[in-house]
Amino acid sequence: MKIQTFMSTWLYCDHMSTYLARMISHNRSDSIRYANLFSSAFNELLEIAFRTRHPGGELACKVSRLGDVDRIELTFPCTIEERQFFEEAIARAQGSESRERYLHSVSGDLAPSREVVLLELAIDYNATLRLEEVDTNIIKLIVDLPLESLPH
Amino acid sequence: MSPHDHPPRFRTQFDPNNQEFSIAGVVRPQSIDELAPSITLLRDSIAQVRGVFYVNIKRLTQMNNTAFHVFSRVIIDACRTRPELKFVIITSSVVGWTTRKFTMLNGVEPNITVEEYDREFYPGQDFLEEGGFIPILRTQTRMTWRHERKILPRHGMRSGITMADICCGIGDFAVLVQKEFQPFRIVALDHSKSSLSYARKVASEFDVRGIEYTYGDASEMLLEDNQFDLVTCRHSLQIFNKPELILKELYRIVKPGGRVYVTNEKISQCLGEPRGESIQWTYEELSKLFAHFKMDLELGPKNRRYLIEAGFQDIRVESFMVTNLDGDPQEFADVVQSWEDTFAGEMARRRGDSAQFIERFRQGFQDHIFAALHPKGYAGWPIWVASGQKPL
């Protein structure tokens, strides 16, 4: 999907996350709960891509499953500064102080940055995050979500 | 197209009597400006209250971080400017992310706490969901199925439909329906994790496919509106203290033109001969015992009224009697024995009944068993069935 088409309509994030969540959840142990959780996480990732500052390129998304883990691979264009930001944010999200950072961010006065989303995925969803550089201005955000084993 | 082309898919409201602000639906704004009226309402609401301010999010199905941050910000600010005020956020255990996400706020401000509300609506659930009751539930379903398999087609059951079995318990009814009628899809929902776990195990062992077992609260379901051709809810309205809330949800999820099918008992009309008097006394007392725990085991004949009041039309009502002559009388006796064990056991003890009362109470169950197994005896357990159509 062209990123500009995607960015023309905010509701695409919601529609895509809801649709895909339903599609992949039917054979999970609790399809309704799983779809709700997956949609919640996936929508945040799509909103990250929606807010890219790069004007052109394409959005690509691949979802795969290995056992209890669903992997989302979201490829989208971004500026060099944004790529650097994501690299640092992912390192912090995987770091030992991620919870403190998250709480600090929630209690802060500033509007939430895209880092909060990554922190939340790591803390609340036990997600493992990774970044791959596809091209100078394109990144691939890889998120492993072990939703099936999340405590109720 | 912009976000403003669509009506908001969430609603916020404030109930001053309960000091409760509620947010329901899907809240995924692009910018906080879209939330301005709701944020103003939240601020104004907080300004009106003293003591405890409740934030009810049990019907909040989705909320993105943009919205979470702005709502949280208002509450955190209020904690700081009014330290005497407590904030209690009411979540539902059914929505997997809300409790975890909002509990984070307690790490920011201790005056913000999170409570999962679910238990309140199910005062008697723990009596009925203990593991020991499972074999008897299976027997009960087998006994009622002999009748229901003939009755169900008159209430909208047919092959190829999309159906939901709400309060599915251990899921055996859904399995029987799947085998007999081959619906296209069955969603089976219950609020007991142990029952669902059993249901999944059975489905897996017997390679039964096409049933989606899901954890949910019948009075606040995650299921979307107008999805199902048929929604069944068996023997369940009678054990909720607010059956009208469940019916409202059943109405919401069934398609226009689809039907909702309910079964309930009028337990005081369980009967048997010989020893009819003792049996009658015990079941009348059993009805009172359930009433003590806010469950109405006399609900069966009220099915019609409840369905009409919930907005259904073309109400169809019938009843059947499960008896000792349907199959093996020992099955009937086993079920009554399990009733005695549970109801004259833990349940009567928890009400504080005397030993003398319990002895007489137990005797009626034993007499019912006697009637069921007597070569010339007759024992019955009546069930009331009703269904209603959601208007087109």
* B187-220 pLDDT tens trace: 999 988 888 888 888 888 778 888 999 988 888 8
Partner-chain contact A29 B200, CB within 8 Å = yes
Gap between the Cα atoms of B347 and B344, Å rounded? 6
Contact call for A30 and B215, based on CB within 8 A: yes
One DSSP character per residue, A98-118 reads HHHHHHHHHHSSSPP-HHHHH
φ/ψ (deg, to 5) at B78? -65, -35
Relative to beta strand B378-389, strand B254-265 is antiparallel
Cα gap A44→B28, rounded to integer Å: 10
Kindly state whether A148 is in contact with chain B, defined as any CB-CB distance less than 8 angstroms: no
* Range 33-72 of A in CB contact (< 8 A) with B: 33, 36-37, 39-40, 43-44, 47
Burial class (CB in 10 A: 0-12, 13-18, 19+), A66: exposed
Say which amino acid occupies B36: A
Q: What residue of A is the nearest CA neighbor of B92? A: A152
pLDDT, tens digit (0-9, with 9 covering 90-100), for B274-302: 999 999 999 999 999 999 999 999 999 99
What was the pLDDT predicted at A111? 66
Judge: B97–A26 Cβ closer than 8 Å, yes or no. Answer: no
Q: Given CB atoms, is A139 within the 8 Å cutoff of chain B?
A: no
Can you tell me whether residue B364 is helix, strand or coil? Answer: helix
Q: What residues are paired with B325 via a beta bridge?
A: none
Q: How many angstroms away from the CA of B136 is the closest CA of chain A? A: 25
Whole-number average pLDDT of chain A: 89
Euclidean distance between CA atoms B380 and B56, whole angstroms = 45
Contact A124 B97 (CB under 8 A): yes
Q: What is the mean pLDDT of chain B?
A: 91
At A63-88, the pLDDT tens digits run: 999 888 999 999 999 888 888 888 98
What DSSP string describes B136-203? HHHHHHHHHHHHHHHHGGGGT--TT-EEEEET-TTSHHHHHHHHHH--SEEEEEES-HHHHHHHHHHH
Residue A137 confidence (pLDDT): 87
| ipTM score | 0.92
**If phi over 0 gives left and psi between -120 and 50 gives alpha, with beta otherwise, what is residue A113?**
beta
* B245-261 residue pLDDT tens: 999 999 999 999 999 99
Length of chain B: 392
Residue in chain B nearest A147 by alpha carbon: B96
Ranges of residues in chain B with a pLDDT under 50 are 1-4, 121-123
Using alpha carbons, list the distances in angstroms from residue A42 to A85, B84, B235, B303, B372: 20, 38, 38, 42, 58
Length of chain A (residues): 152
Cβ of A44 and B76 within 8 Å? no
* pLDDT score, position B206: 79
pLDDT in tens, chain A (152 residues): 898 999 999 999 999 999 999 999 988 888 888 999 999 999 999 999 998 888 888 999 999 998 889 999 999 998 888 888 889 889 988 888 888 888 888 877 666 678 888 999 999 899 999 998 778 889 999 999 999 887 76
**In this predicted structure, what is the pLDDT of residue A41?**
95
